[in-house]
Amino acid sequence: MKIQLKYGTNPHQIPASITLPDPSPLQVLNGAPGYINLLDALGAWQLVRELREATGVAAAASFKHTSPAGAAIARPFTEAFAASQFLTDEELSPVANAYVHARGSDRLSSFGDAAAVSDTVDVSLARILAREVSDLIIAPGYEPEALALLKAKKGGGYLILQLDPAYQPPELEGRDLFGFRLEQRRNDARITASLFENVVSSRKSLPQEAVETLIVATIALKYTQSNSVCVAYDGQVIGMGAGQQSRVHCTRLACDKADKWLLQQHPKTLALKFKSGLGRPEKANVVDQYLLWEQLSDAEVTQMLSGLQERPEPISREEKAAWIARFEGICLSSDAFIPFRDNIDRASRSHVQYVAQPGHSLRDDDVTAAAEQYGMTMIHTGLRLFLH
């Protein structure tokens, strides 16, 4: 069974299509899919399905350009997180909770995302999606009222996909590139708690909460374009550094994003007074600029201030460091071995306490010594998770 797509990776790449098994486990319930839509949807679906299997908790992902901007399992909201995400007091179902956490991992990158959830989409989640800028949702099922709400989104053009959760793909997968056919065994490595048993640092502390967060981070890496490094906290991704040629650039990117996530909850950030009529995306942009104030040009500062009722006081470097140091249980996972200690040095400034990596680098001893210096727990998984 073949479905014609709007176009390929770019509008001039026509024709484009997808060939489905017969009978097809994938259904298009609304909208017209494009090539990138399906790449994002199928990658995101695998991620949330695996998170659900590994944790037993509702899971969600927010995908952009074939990598997760965020991923999470359902966890209780803290008051500061809820305020930082402009949430009201509405009661959310577990699946809606998971998606709010996932999208909140990196609000800027999640703008126009491909959303994926492990559980049936209910009205609680549909109402969240209805107010966000999102391109599609993929899920195992939909409540009738939720489906009706989503079909009205984007003038009736919102892409809604349903995938049979019982579907299992073939063991071999392939792709055509420049006229050549490549095949490999599908990456079916399982990410479970046993993967994190080889603690190589003298600090052996690894509470269950950290193990679960490392599971989330590592499964997210499995579906992220390499090289990649993920920082996670309390069951959710808070910083993803994806697709960089140098590992330290992945680490810097992931940690910079994590710092911004943590600082969104700083009292000075929560005290920002936005001008009336400002939408959620515009508020998110103002917060992002506010947290980077010292790096902005005069024109950018003027733009930031145009969205606020009054000029706020910046958060000083010392205040930022002190705030980040308040958070316990921050985890970092790497999709391949960490080659130099500079990654650990950068991670320490984001108060990372648990590091998981495959190990087997020529400089393992130096990297572990750096972790020892900062009081981190270092785990060698022995499992590389490249994705290309």
* Tens-place pLDDT, residues 17-32: 999 998 999 999 999 9
CA dihedral 258, 259, 265, 267 (to 10 degrees): 180
Sequence ranges of the chain with CATH classification 3.40.140.20: 2-168, 173-263+323-380
Q: Which CATH architecture has domain 2-168?
A: 3-Layer(aba) Sandwich (3.40)
Mean pLDDT, rounded, of the chain: 96
| Phi, psi of 310, rounded to the nearest 5 degrees | -150, 160
Q: How large a percentage of the chain has pLDDT more than 90?
A: 97
pLDDT at 89 over 80: no
pLDDT of residue 88: 84
pLDDT at 203 over 90: yes
Can you state the angle between helices 123-131 and 94-104, rounded to 10 degrees? 30
23 upstream amide cis, omega within 30 of 0: yes
Is residue 353 within 8 A of residue 324, CB to CB? The reply is: no
Terminal Cα distance for the chain, rounded: 27
Can you state the angle between helices 298-305 and 280-291, rounded to 10 degrees? 140
Which fold does the domain 267-314 belong to in CATH?
Helix Hairpins (1.10.287)
CA proximity to 163, closest of 4, 33, 54, 67:
33
> For the segment 275-301, what is each residue's pLDDT rounded down to a tens digit?
999 999 999 999 999 999 999 999 999
Residues annotated as catalytic are: 64-65, 227, 388
Of the CATH numbers 3.40.140.20, 3.40.50.920, 3.10.20.30, 3.75.10.10, which one belongs to the domain with range 173-263+323-380? 3.40.140.20
Sequence ranges of the chain with CATH classification 1.10.287.440: 267-314
Q: What is the mean pLDDT of residues 60-76?
A: 97
Q: What is the mean pLDDT of residues 100-122?
A: 97
Alpha-carbon distance of 313 to 272, in angstroms, equals 9
Q: Where are the beta strands (DSSP E) in the chain?
A: 2-4, 17-19, 26-30, 59-64, 67-73, 113-117, 134-139, 159-163, 172-177, 180-185, 228-233, 236-242, 331-334, 354-357, 377-380
Alpha-carbon distance of 376 to 365, in angstroms, equals 14
Q: How many residues does the chain have?
A: 388
Give, for 251, the enclosing helix (H) or strand (E): helix 247-263
Cβ neighbours for 364, distance < 8 A, ≥ 6 positions apart: 200, 337, 380
pLDDT at 109 over 90: yes
Alpha-carbon distance of 355 to 203, in angstroms, equals 12
Cα angle value 262/110/344 (rounded, 5°): 45
Binned at pLDDT 50, 70 and 90, residue 303 comes out as very high
Alpha-carbon distance of 162 to 27, in angstroms, equals 5
Q: Which amino acid is at 208?
A: Q
Residue 167's alpha-carbon distances to 24, 46, 162, in angstroms, are 9, 11, 12
